[in-house]
């Protein structure tokens, strides 16, 4: 964890040469890593120490490849607990304006159906009568425009310089794919640029009043996930996995990441759980049965639902016709409806207010 390592590095700098008994970490009032740019707010024990403290911070972090730029600011009031224990940085998390519940959707690996689940869950919640937005932050493979039939679309800005999301199946949609010159353009943005774009995608958007904003994250535990988690008020996270061992091994890491950054886990969604034979109606557990439940029990999270594997899902996704909008009575759509209802219960049970 980047911030933990930064704090450790600051801890190792004592300030005895300045006549102070604290180490550098104990002066930290606030700390925020945005891409590779670090903002630190330090307590200034006495005037005149600004330059020397600044260079001590730079010195402590010189070896850290994920910090390219450090901005040090000072404050005259001490952090709580100074002189006793290392200051616990309070991350100044921002709430996305106009959004009641921000739900992040993560996965361990690519290809497990995270974007398919994000899109169909958004459509399902809209069908249940909620105001829903969907933000495709999967910068390495934005597939939401294809799944929702918005390929090639572009977004525009309103007179207040805010992005106006597109609307489809009752869902407000924004995707990094709407910003790329063509579908085949690889996203080779580096950390800080990427984070700037994503921050704009969350905060400089005319989301208006939304009950839910579904955030389709890139797979894994990279910079995007961590930075968003540290800077944004997220109601909770869902993790999507398929029941194979390889997928479950990676989703464990993603689950631990959400835990470490203090985002409540609302549940796991098991995708491609089984195949229903169209002739006999019999269920075949192609990738194995019971492993997702085992993982969920071990990590103390709920399985919110299991979605069958159905060729109609992928065929319709490729055509921009999400199954939940076009075949509401299919077993897949019913599974999504049940997941949507359980998600709402989880939010209420977690004391996250009322929907
Ligand atoms: P990710 O976002 O995890 O990379 P996608 O949502 O792009 O994964 O899904 C990967 C592929 O699997 C897509 O072709 C998608 O249509 C297909 N797919 C996802 N879920 C299902 C399902 N339940 N049944 C059949 N195909 C599915």
Q: What does the pLDDT look like over 140-166, one tens digit per residue?
A: 778 999 999 999 898 888 888 899 999
Report percent pLDDT > 70 for the chain: 90
Average pLDDT over residues 103-121: 96
| Residue whose C-alpha is closest to residue 322's, from 141, 101, 124, 142 | 124
The pLDDT, as a whole number, for residue 1 is 57
The pLDDT, as a whole number, for residue 82 is 35
Nearest atom, ligand 1, residue 112 CA: 3
Q: Which of 52-61, 239-248, 285-294, 322-331 has the highest mean pLDDT?
A: 322-331
The pLDDT, as a whole number, for residue 221 is 84
Q: Which of 106, 107, 113 to mutate to test the pocket of ligand 1 (most atoms within 8 A of CB)?
A: 113
* Whether the CB of 107 sits within 6 Å of ligand 1: yes
* Contact in structure between 212 and 88 (CB atoms under 8 Å): no
Q: Which of 116, 271, 309 to mutate to test the pocket of ligand 1 (most atoms within 8 A of CB)?
A: 116
What does 38-53 look like in DSSP terms, one character per residue? EEEEEE-SSTT-HHHH
Distance 113 CA to ligand 1 centre (A): 4
* Whether the CB of 272 sits within 6 Å of ligand 1: yes
| Residue whose C-alpha is closest to residue 54's, from 34, 35, 32, 39 | 39
Distance 315 CA to ligand 1 centre (A): 10
Angle at 326 between CA 217 and CA 137, to 5 degrees: 10
* Whether the CB of 81 sits within 6 Å of ligand 1: no
Residues 344 and 354: their CA atoms lie apart, in Å, by 9
Hey, whose CA ends up nearest to atom 6 of ligand 1? 113
Q: Which of 146, 317, 324, 332 to mutate to test the pocket of ligand 1 (most atoms within 8 A of CB)?
A: 317
Average pLDDT over residues 120-127: 98
Q: Provide CB contacts within 8 A for 10, sequence distance 6+.
A: 23, 24, 25, 28, 57, 60, 61
Asked if pLDDT for residue 87 goes beyond 70, the answer is no
* Contact in structure between 272 and 283 (CB atoms under 8 Å): no
Higher pLDDT, 302 or 179: 302
Average pLDDT over residues 220-229: 80
Domains of the chain: 2-75 (3.30.300.130), 99-349 (3.40.50.300)
| Residue whose C-alpha is closest to residue 169's, from 201, 153, 140, 147 | 147
| Residue whose C-alpha is closest to residue 215's, from 106, 131, 294, 91 | 106
* Contact in structure between 350 and 236 (CB atoms under 8 Å): yes
Q: What does the pLDDT look like over 227-286, one tens digit per residue?
A: 787 788 999 999 999 998 888 989 999 998 888 888 899 999 999 999 999 999 999 999
Minimum mean pLDDT range among 73-77, 83-87, 145-149, 295-299: 83-87
> Which pLDDT band holds residue 355 (cuts at 50, 70, 90)?
very low
Q: What does the pLDDT look like over 63-76, one tens digit per residue?
A: 888 788 899 999 87
């Amino acid at each position: 964890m980047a911030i933990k390592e930064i704090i450790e590095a600051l801890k190792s700098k004592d300030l005895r040469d300045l006549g102070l008994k604290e180490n550098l970490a104990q002066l930290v009032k606030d700390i925020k890593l945005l891409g590779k740019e670090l903002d630190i707010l330090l307590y200034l024990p006495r005037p005149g120490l600004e330059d020397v403290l600044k260079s001590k911070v730079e010195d402590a972090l010189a070896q850290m490849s994920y910090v390219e730029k450090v901005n040090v600011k000072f404050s005259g009031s001490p952090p709580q607990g100074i002189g006793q224990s290392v200051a616990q940085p309070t991350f100044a998390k921002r709430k996305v304006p106009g959004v009641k519940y921000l739900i992040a959707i993560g996965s361990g690996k690519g290809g497990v159906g995270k974007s398919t689940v994000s899109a169909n869950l958004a459509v399902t919640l809209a069908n249940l009568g909620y105001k829903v937005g969907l933000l495709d932050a999967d910068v390495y493979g934005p597939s939401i425009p294809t799944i929702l039939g918005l390929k090639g679309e572009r977004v525009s800005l309103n007179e207040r310089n805010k992005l106006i999301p597109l609307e489809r199946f009752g869902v407000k949609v924004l995707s990094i794919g709407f910003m790329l010159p063509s579908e085949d353009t690889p996203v080779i943005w580096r950390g800080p640029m990427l984070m700037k774009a994503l921050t704009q995608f969350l905060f400089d958007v005319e989301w208006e009043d939304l009950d839910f904003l579904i955030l389709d994250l890139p797979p894994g535990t990279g910079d995007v996930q961590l930075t968003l988690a540290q800077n944004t008020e997220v109601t909770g996270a869902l993790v999507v996995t398929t029941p194979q061992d390889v997928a479950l091994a990676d989703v464990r890491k993603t689950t631990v990441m959400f835990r470490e950054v203090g985002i409540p886990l609302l549940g796991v969604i098991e995708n491609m759980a089984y195949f229903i034979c169209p002739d006999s109606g019999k269920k075949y557990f192609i990738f194995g049965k019971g492993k997702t439940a085992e993982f969920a029990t071990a990590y103390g999270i709920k399985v919110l639902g299991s979605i069958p594997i159905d060729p109609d899902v992928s065929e319709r996704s490729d055509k921009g016709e999400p199954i939940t909008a076009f075949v509401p009575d299919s077993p897949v759509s019913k599974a999504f409806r049940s997941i949507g209802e359980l998600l709402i219960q989880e939010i209420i049970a977690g004391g996250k207010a009322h929907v």
